[in-house]
A = this chain, B = another copy of it.
Amino acid sequence: MSLSVFEGFLSTPEMLEVFAGPSVVQAMMDFEAALARAQAAEGVISRDAALAIAGVCKAELYDVEAIVAASRRAGSLAIPLVAKLTETVALFNGEASQVVHWGSTSQDVIDTATVLVTRRAMALIDRDLSALIASLLALYERHGHAPLLARTLMQPASVTSFGFKLAGWLAALVGAQQRLHAAAPRALQLQFGGAVGSLATLGTQGPAVARRVAGLLQLPEPQGVWHTQRGDWVSLGCEIGVLVGSLSKIATDWALMGQGEIGELAEPSGAGRGGSSAMPHKRNPVSSMFALAAAQRAPQRVAALLSAMAQEHERGLGNWQAELAEWAGLFVSAHGGLKALADAAAGLAVDEARMLVNLGSLRGVVHAEAVAMRMARVVGKPKAQALLEMLSRRALAERVELKTLALQALDDDAVLRAAVPRADVETLFDPHVAAASAVARADEALARLRPQARALAAAQPWALFLSGA
């Protein structure tokens, strides 16, 4: 079954593959094989039966499209899969075919398979998040101390440094990765409870079998069934949503700083990247575009996961099924945005000269706060602020530099003149002086963030699963 072209456009082939039929069906097969092996180890079924079952738990033996197609009639992906698996086992070992899927239920195999493919999805996310962080850290080394116009509520505000901006982006990404590393182990749990969750078919052997299945699948010690208790699971989905939110903040800044009139940043260009079918001069910020597109979608995926939590009794009707589809959609779209930013960050063009030009282009009014605060020490904040408000308005209206007006005001006021040396005011208009606090704060932040980023990159909790189960 083919994907909507607009969906594929916004994702990555890697992540699409993770949630596609062959991958999910193989993960279901992995569950069935582990189940058979675990039950053999606990003496529930024979070793031969387990071997016979595990031997055919290979997705490539089956017509995945046909299984998916049949699932719609059955109302569950597991039913046709188990039927086909049973048929296939029967070709080799009639007895073994009697104990396929023994003690298990559809949701066990579907949820566990989703956990297994999500572990691979997490590996991709983690890899590219580390790459993005590394690229931003490298940008800090090169451009961290460059003075930059700070903007609040979409208006020029005052002076900051590009490194201060980078520190903010990095803090958010490092925090996101830390929270993902904490949330995932709670979420990536075996699902195994049988028909209604109590492992009734396996009687007292249930917990031991569950532990063995988890072990074979390299999942943590099971904490019980979570058929209709999706809190830990959805909490991981939320963290993906928050990650996308933090990506969207970065992409927003990139898009704004990359506007033609501003030109402080540019995404890498190259053969065919970001062109236009109509306009020959266009270099569109397509990486920001993918991240912003993901950010339009992830919040709604998360809302769907949350609203699907009211699952009825021992298995939900509609909500569980919707959750699975939204879950896949969330990862597929999140990775589209993350990968795009990671790729672009590695080649991001930073124009320090343009940053200085922009800083200087507003008649110096972005230094108004600093001047006001300096004068405020003498005449108080309200009076100083009112003075600079008036001077800023004049600077813009009369196209005069605020510096000129401020020095004039100093000269004209005996009290100020006595207390504030001219040089003090002049220096406030030096971008590097103005950026000094931002530089210091950012350097402090980086001292904290670098070792955290290093530790996270070293952890690689899902690296093992990067190249498939």
Contact = CB atoms under 8 A, between A and B. Distances in A.
Contacts of A158: 195-196, 200, 279
B278 A194 contact: yes
A200 to B, nearest CB: 4
Contacts of A159: 196, 200
Contact of A281 (B274, B286, B389): B389
Interface stretch (A122-130, A136-144, A380-388, A418-426): A380-388
Given A157-B315, A293-B322, A198 B4 contact: no
Contact of A380 (B97, B103, B225, B312): B97
A285 B200 contact: no
Nearest to A22: B2
A388 B196 contact: no
9 contacts: A70-B272, A79-B277, A150-B197, A151-B313, A175-B229, A194-B278, A196-B438, A280-B386, A296-B319
Contacts of A262: 259, 261
A299 B307 contact: yes
A190 interface: no
B310 A299 contact: no
Interface in A189-231: 194-204, 206-207, 223-226, 228-231
A198 B68 contact: no
Interface in A36-85: 68-79, 82
Interface in A146-183: 149-161, 164, 167-169, 171-172, 175-176, 179, 182
Interface string A341-356: 0000000000000000
Contacts of A338: none
A133 interface: no
A384 to B, nearest CB: 8
Interface in A346-403: 358, 361-362, 365-366, 368-370, 372-373, 376, 379-383, 385-389, 392-393, 396
A329 interface: yes
